[in-house]
Every structure is written in C-alpha cells, then in structure tokens.
Amino acid sequence: MTFSDIFKSSFLEKATEASILDIVIAMALAFAVGLFIFFVYKKTFAGVMYSASFGVSIMAMTLITTLIILAVTSNVVLSLGMVGALSIVRFRTAVKEPLDIAFLFWSISAGIVIGAGLLPLAVIGSVIIGLVLFLFVSRKNTHTPYIIVLSLDSDAAEIAAIAALRSKTQKMLIKSKTVSKNGIELTAEVRITDMSARLVNELLEIEGVRNASLVSYNGEYTA
C-alpha cells in the first residue's frame, strides 16, 4: 500500500465526476425560470393576502429540485437512496389558494426538467404556462359578484328593493330571507357591471330600507 492509496477517497473521485460547468448552467437556468415563476405568481395573485415568502419559496423550490435531480441522474444507486430519503418528508403547511398548488407543481416540474437536461422544454414550457396564466387568471371580470344584505321594514320595501336590484344589476339572485317582528332581512347575490358602490346609496333612498351592506364575494369567501 502506497502513500497515495492511504489518502485515496471514493467520495473525492465521485466529486470529480460532476461537471462544474453543467452544474453552473443548470442552477443559473433554474434561478431564471424560478424568478419567472415568482414574477407570474406576483402578477396573477388574486387572493386575500399576498405572501412574499411563498413566492420566494417557489423560486427556491425550483433550485432545490434541480439540485436533487442533478444528483440523482449522476448515480443510479444514489437515486434509489434519494427516493427513500425523500419519502419520509411531510409538509404540514396548508395551501389556502387552489392556484398556489399549480405554482408549486410548476416549480417542481421545472426543476425536474432542468435537472434532467431538457433545457428547451423547461424554457418553452414555462413561457407557455406563464402566458396561459396571464391570459386566464389576471383577466379582470367586468361582472364582479357581490352580496347585498338589506334590512327592510315591510313587504312594500322588499318589493321596491328587489325591483331596484333587478333594474340596476346584470344579475340578481336571492340567497336568503329572514322575517321577524323587527322586519325583514334579505340577502341577494348581484353582478354589478359598472364596478360602482352607488347602488347601496340608491337602495337606502327607498322608503322602508333601514340598512344596506355590500360585500365582495367570489363563491368561496368574502373579502
């Protein structure tokens, strides 16, 4: 056994197998694609509260996934151990917006494709996904749904209020009606075309309408 055999390490031999240039190119492209995903997420966000940390996590996930795939593709034995190690990972953070799941899968898929060396697929696919999201998610709906809650004194006020709602809105649908000795409480879903809250003021001018509330509504939560 010679002096060089004593300091010979299989770990160092494996380290020399990885191309530094390939790693730099893959990680740089993963950073660019992750930054593009973060930009699309920021511009198309339509939820209640924007989370900057989630956007940064999307970009970091693209880099981390690329790094893992680079390691997996370089060694078959390592890939089997990596699958076993990652199978015990559990995420406990709840995803509040359904669209956030699409961004998570997008960042993971981009990292996998870049790590596998399919660079044109990663770039072209990300551009197409970004354009689709810009087209459908960021498009403003001119018929925004709202919930109107009215407190009425009598049946005559109810008839007048419903007539006003039908004439001033694109669509009106009664959601609930509560009748008590103190009066009538009416809840209706409406579509306002001009994006103006003037309708509430006009409803209060009707005789018998005590209170009127306008709440933004998207079918899942109020904001």
Average confidence score pLDDT of the chain: 77
- Res 18: pLDDT: 59
Closest CA to 34 of 155, 94, 122: 122
In a domain, 1, yes or no: no
pLDDT for res 100? 81
Which residues, 6 or more positions from 34, have their beta carbon under 8 angstroms from its beta carbon?
Answer: 58, 59, 60, 61, 62, 63, 107, 110, 111
Residue 128: partners with Cβ closer than 8 Å, 6 or more residues away: none
Percent of the chain predicted with pLDDT > 90: 6
Task: Give me the domain span that covers residue 106.
Answer: 9-136
- Please report the pLDDT score of residue 31 as a whole number: 93
Query: For 90-143, what is each residue's pLDDT tens digit?
Result: 656 666 677 888 888 889 899 888 888 888 888 899 999 989 988 887 655 555
Residue 4 belongs to a domain: no
- pLDDT 10s digits, 133-170: 888 876 555 556 788 888 888 888 888 888 888 887 88
State residue 160's pLDDT score: 87
Q: Are residues 60 and 130 in the same domain?
A: yes
Residue 34 lies in a domain: yes
Q: Picking from 11-20, 34-43, 167-176, which range would have the lowest pLDDT averaged per residue?
A: 11-20
CATH number (domain holding residue 175): 3.30.70.260
Is 97 found in the same domain as 185?
A: no
Predicted pLDDT at 221: 43
Q: Are strands 209-216 and 171-180 parallel, antiparallel or unpaired?
A: unpaired
Over residues 3-31, the pLDDT tens digits come to 455 444 554 455 545 578 888 888 999 99
- pLDDT of amino acid 200: 81
Q: Are residues 131 and 149 in the same domain?
A: no
Examine the domain organization and report whether 43 and 79 are in the same domain: yes
The reply to whether 130 and 148 lie within a common domain is no
* 195: region left, alpha or beta (phi > 0 left; psi from -120 to 50 alpha): left
pLDDT of amino acid 222: 41
Q: What is the pLDDT of residue 21?
A: 83
pLDDT in the model for residue 48 = 57
Residue 32 pLDDT: 92
153 Cβ contact partners less than 8 Å away, ≥ 6 residues apart = 183, 184, 208, 209, 210
Section 70-96 average pLDDT: 62
pLDDT at 208: 86
In a shared domain, residues 35 and 120 = yes
Other CB atoms within 10 A of residue 140 CB: 7
Question: Residues 44, 150: one domain?
Answer: no
Instruction: Indicate if 14 and 117 belong to the same structural domain.
Output: yes
Could you give the number of structural domains in the chain? 2
Q: Is residue 222 part of a domain?
A: no
Bigger pLDDT: 11 or 198? Answer: 198
Q: Do residues 41 and 81 both lie within one domain?
A: yes
Structure tokens at 186: 């009416």
Highest mean pLDDT among 31-35, 49-53, 81-85, 155-159: 31-35
